[in-house]
Structure 1
Amino acid sequence: MQIVTRLIAITRARQLQRQFQQIERSISPLPARVRSRLGLMTLREIGQASKCEFPHLYSTAPEHRYMPWGQGTEIGFARSKSDNPEVALRGIALWLAVAYHETKDSQYASLQPQHRQLLRVLRELRDAGSEQADATAEWMRSGAAA
């Protein structure tokens, strides 16, 4: 049984890695202001997922609760490909939040690199938000705001 469980974990790690590469390619060209919004959206999604009984199953239908993993990453990934920029941002935020909770306390070594990559992206989004706030504060202190 342990072999099957490990095989499932390895398969999931590969799937998350492929999706993560696409998500990261979607994030990289975003301007700083949009990255800041994405960081806030992602933080809100992570908080909403934390309130659930099983955060890694956030946005998964109740009848699918007993699957090896939830549907949140699939939903978020599909939305991230949308032509509508707002839907795409919300999809990216959902994917990041669910993947974060799914990999956070994983006992499988194959999922730990994905968690570290997610933390790096979340840190970059957080820093983009703080840089945006610093620039706004600096502008407000200058004579341009008067």
Structure 2
Amino acid sequence: MQLITRLIALTRGMQLRRQFKEIEKALEQLNPSARRQLAALAMREFSNAAKSEFPHLYATPPDEKYSPWGSGTSIGFERMKSDSLQVRMRGVALWLTVTFHETKDSPYADQRELHRLVMRTLRTLKESVPAKEMSQLLANHPQAA
């Protein structure tokens, strides 16, 4: 059973890593103003996910509550492919939020590495927002700090 569990985790890690590479490409194409907007969206998503009973299942329909992982990453990744900049940014914010929570306390090294990459990306986004704007965002969304 452990072998099957490890195989499933490895497959999931590979899928998330592949998606992360495309997320990184999408982030590179954003101008500074869009990056600031994305940082605000990500903070909002984190705040909402933190209020959820199971943050790693954030944005997952209730009937999928008992699946090994939620559909938040799939939803976010599909939105990231949209022609609309706003929809793309909301998708990236959702994907980063759900992936952060899904990989947070993983016992598997490849998922912990992905978690570090997601944290680095989130830190980079946060640093793209001037300190004055960040303090205003944090005042509006204290859970996102």
- TM-score (normalised: structure 2): 0.88
What SS does structure 1 have at the residue aligned with 2:128?
A: helix
Superposition pairs of residues 7-18 of structure 1, within 5 angstroms: 7-18=7-18
Between 103-112 and 114-123, the greater mean CA deviation after superposition: 103-112
> In the alignment, does 2:36 pair up with 1:36?
yes
User: Which position in structure 2 is the counterpart of 1:67?
Assistant: 67
Alignment: residue pair count: 134
- Give 1:125's aligned residue: 125
Q: Give the number of the structure whose alpha-carbon radius of gyration is greater.
A: 1
Q: 1:15 to 1:132 in 2, by over 3 A?
A: farther
The residue number in structure 1 matching 2:101 is 101
Query: Root-mean-square deviation (CA), in Å?
Result: 1.5
Q: 1:2 corresponds to which letter in structure 2?
A: Q
Q: Where does structure 1 lack aligned partners over 5 or more consecutive residues?
A: 135-146
CA drift at 1:7: 0.7
- In structure 1, the partner of 2:46 is 46
Q: CA deviation at 1:100?
A: 0.6
CA distance in 2 between partners of 1:31 and 1:133 (Å): 17
Matching residue of 1:27 = 27
| TM-score normalized by the length of structure 1 | 0.87
Q: Please tell me whether the aligned partners of residues 49 and 58 of structure 1 are also in contact (alpha carbons under 8 angstroms).
A: yes
**Share of identical aligned residues, percent?**
49
Letter paired with 2:120: R
Distance 1:131 1:23 in 2: 25
| Aligned AA (2:78) | A
Q: Deviations over 1:36-83 (max 9, x none)?
A: 110111011011111111100001011111212100000000000000
Letter in 2 for 1:60: T
Partner Cα separation in structure 2 for residue 131 and residue 24 of structure 1: 24
Unaligned stretches of 5+ residues in structure 2: 135-145
